[in-house]
Amino acid sequence: MGQTKPAGGPTQDEIMAISLFKMGLQREDTLLDLGCGTGKISLAAARIAKKVYAVDRRPEAIRYTQEQAEQAGVTNIEFFCGEAMDFLKIDRTFDCAFIGGSKQIGEFLPVLSRRVKRTIVVNAVMVSTLASGIDIMQQIGIFREAIQVQVSRSYNIAGSVMFKPIDPVYIIVGNGAAC
């Protein structure tokens, strides 16, 4: 208990809302969350979808996400600690996929596109990930759109309110190719 939050997250609420909306999750869906990090997307999706597969190469991320799921009483998440390509060796299809971790995206995105029936959403904070994500999706014919989202939050200053920007996030959306 009391795992330390892993680096790289959590996904901001507003970014999560847009990403989940773009996926269009439904009650009977299965979602693959690659690079689950703090588990915020996995937990939110588990409240909608039938089954969520949370994958991260970092043991501390999986432990943290498992703890968060247990505390929230969420039981429809299956966890896998390892590389995305190792998980994708399991012959399984998904309705939607969320990619929060971009390490080896060039390797796993083409494979993943054949395993996803409807929608793939990639969240990127680096311009290089944005460029490679779009390029790969265009090459394999699944690119739908990219969105740049900039969120600012209010805070009190000198008896008034000011907005402080949070780093922008790029949301890349692609169609699944699995039949």
Say if 3 falls within a structural domain. Answer: no
- pLDDT tier at 8, thresholds 50, 70, 90: low
10: preceding bond cis by omega (within 30 degrees): yes
CATH number of the domain where residue 85 is located: 3.40.50.150
Cα separation, 55 vs 108, in Å, equals: 13
Write the burial class of residue 62 (CB in 10 Å: 0-12 exposed, 13-18 middle, 19+ buried).
buried
For residue 104, the model assigns a pLDDT of 85
Say if 87 falls within a structural domain. Answer: yes
Cα separation, 150 vs 30, in Å, equals: 29
pLDDT at residue 145 is higher than 50: yes
Total residues belonging to the chain: 179
Q: What is the CB neighbour count within 10 angstroms for residue 130? A: 20
Say if 141 falls within a structural domain. Answer: yes
- pLDDT tier at 178, thresholds 50, 70, 90: low
Summarised one tens digit per residue, pLDDT across range 22-67 is 999 999 999 999 999 999 999 999 999 999 999 999 999 999 999 9
pLDDT at residue 120 is higher than 50: yes
For residue 2, the model assigns a pLDDT of 60
When mean pLDDT is compared over 51-55, 82-86, 124-128, the highest value belongs to 51-55
What is the β-pairing status of strands 143-149 and 116-124?
unpaired
Q: Which residue has the higher pLDDT, 101 or 65?
A: 65
Q: Which range among 6-15, 116-125, 132-141 shows the weakest confidence by mean pLDDT?
A: 6-15
Say if 50 falls within a structural domain. Answer: yes
For residue 167, the model assigns a pLDDT of 87
Kindly state the percentage of the chain with pLDDT values over 90.
84
Say if 4 falls within a structural domain. Answer: no
Pick from 113, 116, 129, 100: nearest CA to 29: 116
Say if 33 falls within a structural domain. Answer: yes
Number of domains in the chain: 1
For residue 161, the model assigns a pLDDT of 96
pTM of the model: 0.91
Cα separation, 105 vs 44, in Å, equals: 23
Cα separation, 150 vs 4, in Å, equals: 27
pLDDT at residue 90 is higher than 70: yes
* Amino acid occupying residue 72: A
State which residues form the domain around 117: 13-175
Say if 8 falls within a structural domain. Answer: no
Mean pLDDT over each residue of the chain, to the nearest integer: 92
Say if 2 falls within a structural domain. Answer: no
Do residues 113 and 140 touch, judged by C-beta distance below 8 A? Answer: yes
Do residues 135 and 110 touch, judged by C-beta distance below 8 A? Answer: no
